[in-house]
Chains A and B, each alone.
Chain A
Amino acid sequence: MIQPLRGIAWASEKYVYAFDIIVQRFWTSPIDPVENAKWVMAGVDEEFNKENGFRDKGYTFIVAGHNFAGGGKSIEHVVTGLMGAGIKAVFADSFSRLQFRNATNYGLPFITCKGLVQHVKTGDELEFDPSTGLIKNITTGFEAQALPVAPFVAEIAAAGGLMQFIKNKIADGTVHELR
């Protein structure tokens, strides 16, 4: 059973590009959530442009507008950086396809929820139940319904990524049950 998640949101209607989440000088650094988190979001807002600037704010959720993490960069650091900084789910009007696949392959739920960003301000407390898709803004009382998160996303997160998840499934003979 996946437990509901609770925490504080960072919200912005601005375009949030992949190359601002991870700025260019870190594109080639190794995949490591702790390292990748140090400068994550550095290009998005000046206040995050210092070591662990975003992580130290202690956000659990991101609420964004159109084409979150877009701009055509496939760098996986975007996802590992956000995860390393404590992000447990991202809600947006839409996502870049490349980063949506990366996020799912690391087990970070990217949830499409049109218009949510108009009802959440940075600092609001949210509760999200992945098994029902219900999002509650505790601060304002606003509620929104998204689709439930496929259970395999949490399993991928628990396994530490798609490759290990598939290895486990092959090992225990359940890979053909995936649907």
Chain B
Amino acid sequence: MSGMTITEKIMALRSGRDRVRPGELVWANVHTVMTMDYLGKQTFAALHELGVHEVFDRDRVICVSDHLVPPPTPQFATMLNEWRELVKQHSITYFYDLGKQGIAHQIMVEQGHVVPGTVSIGTDSHANTYGAVGAVGNAVSVSDAAVAMAIGKCWFRVPESVKFYVTGTWQPYVMAKDLSLHIMGMMHWNGHLIYKALEFEGPAITALDMAGRMTLCNMTVDLGAKNGIIAPDHVTQAYLHGRAKTDWSMIASDSDAEYEAVYEIDVTNIGPMVARPDKLDDVVPIEHVKGTKFNKAFVGTCTNGRLEDIAVLAHILQGKHVHPDVNVLLVPASQQVYLDALKAGYITTLVEAGVAVDTPSCAACAGIHTGVAGDGDVILSAGNRNMKGRMGSKNAQIYLSSPAVVAASALKGVIADPRELS
């Protein structure tokens, strides 16, 4: 009998089985359940609908304000007030409200709520991010989350696993985002990664810091995958020490585990990549879009709003000024990221360079507030989605790239290759 992949092992472990097979449905114990301001009220309402008025563990239901803070409209302000009351009513231990806020997926990893070998779910699609620490992270509906809040369990279909074995050396200014976009272009959003567990392995993955691993796992949801995961190693261990809220154990795929497919990628051959407007998988090497004019640049989101991303931006813009035809907005992914960036001097550098910095939130990523797109805008964003209307107006265009490309382009006023900076 062959071995199991890391995702299968976690599913087996958490559902009290010796082994699981892809396609099987299991009820698994969840480590944490995350809900956020946008759907939190509905999730608590569904919990009450079950006749349950106490969550299964108040340390393991994590509540985060991110989509709607600071509230952009009176309606959202009212909804936030109702949400805040519900969170208090349930004596939730970890409530990241405005002041302690951040994008939920950043908070879940950065504050140590997810650990290797566990399953965590959230009411937002990018819960796949938790795979960066070797956990299974999954987005679920409001009713699934309410059930998990009530009983600490959720059902899962064990996914088939696909491995990306990544070798080679990262070229200067090439980031995990470029690999994500490269895979997007290669596999397509409606391609054969639908419902799969994507496992990333190999020397070029080991070389990635936790920020890069989060970017990579984060965008697996946009590939249609069920989860993305990287087995924990020394980088993970170092990251979790002093951060993880609970103990953890190391876990990895068996050497004889079965994969539906294995793809090998040599990252040495990957340069900066750009997704063109409206279609996530319309990805091209930067050479194809160099010189394209845009008027707004955005760095932030659960994909690329971390300290390491801000560091790249600050490094490129240090002592320079953004192009006069371009607005550049930075929104750090969390208060912790913001504070770290302040302490490192990045915020000063960036404000001096003409970058606007706003308080941590999802900002314009979902088109709700803080820098939404208007008619005719051409936006270069380090975020994760570029469908029509995603950031506001349907008459805006969104290009997606790494923070390094955003930074180089912000200087030039047209899409520019960071490798060509003098």
Chain A residues at the B interface, C-beta cutoff of 8 Å: 15, 66-67, 70-71, 74, 94-97, 100-102, 104-105, 112, 146-147, 149-150, 152-153, 162-163, 166-167, 170, 175-176, 178-179
Interface residue count for B (Cβ, 8 Å)? 31
Whole-angstrom distance between the alpha carbons of A15 and B157 in the complex? Answer: 22
List of A residues within 8 angstroms of B153 by Cβ: 178
Given A74-B141, A95-B195, A163-B49, the answer on whether A147 and B24 have CB atoms closer than 8 Å is yes
A70 touches B144 (CB 8 A): no
- Nearest Cβ in chain A — how far from B229, in angstroms? 16
Q: A67-B224, A162-B144, A166-B151 are in contact. List 15 more A-B contacts (CB 8 A).
A: A66-B194, A74-B141, A96-B194, A96-B224, A100-B195, A101-B141, A102-B141, A104-B157, A105-B144, A147-B24, A150-B24, A150-B25, A153-B25, A163-B49, A163-B50
Whole-angstrom distance between the alpha carbons of A153 and B23 in the complex? Answer: 14
B155 touches A152 (CB 8 A): yes
- Nearest Cβ in chain B — how far from A163, in angstroms? 6
Whole-angstrom distance between the alpha carbons of A94 and B162 in the complex? Answer: 14
Which of B13-21, B88-96, B112-120, B326-334 is the contact stretch?
Answer: B13-21
Q: Which residue of A lies closest to B158 (CB)?
A: A147
Contact of A167 (CB < 8 Å), options: B15, B25, B51, B141? B51
Q: Which residues in window 120-151 of B have CB below 8 A to A? A: 140-141, 143-144, 146-147, 150-151
- Nearest Cβ in chain A — how far from B108, in angstroms? 20
Jot down 28 A-B pairs with beta carbons below 8 A, ordered by A: A67-B224, A94-B192, A94-B194, A95-B195, A96-B194, A96-B195, A96-B224, A97-B194, A100-B157, A100-B195, A101-B144, A102-B141, A112-B23, A147-B21, A147-B24, A150-B24, A152-B27, A162-B147, A163-B50, A163-B146, A166-B147, A166-B151, A167-B51, A170-B151, A176-B151, A179-B16, A179-B26, A179-B27
How many contacts A-B (CB < 8 Å)?
A: 80
B23 touches A147 (CB 8 A): yes
A104 touches B25 (CB 8 A): yes
B274 at the interface (CB under 8 A from A): no
List of B residues within 8 angstroms of A102 by Cβ: 141
Chain B residues at the A interface, C-beta cutoff of 8 Å: 15-17, 21, 23-27, 46, 49-52, 140-141, 143-144, 146-147, 150-151, 153, 155, 157, 190, 192, 194-195, 224, 226
- Nearest Cβ in chain A — how far from B68, in angstroms? 20
Given A66-B192, A101-B144, the answer on whether A163 and B46 have CB atoms closer than 8 Å is yes
Q: Which residue of B lies closest to A175 (CB)?
A: B151
- Nearest Cβ in chain B — how far from A119, in angstroms? 19
List of B residues within 8 angstroms of A166 by Cβ: 50, 147, 150-151
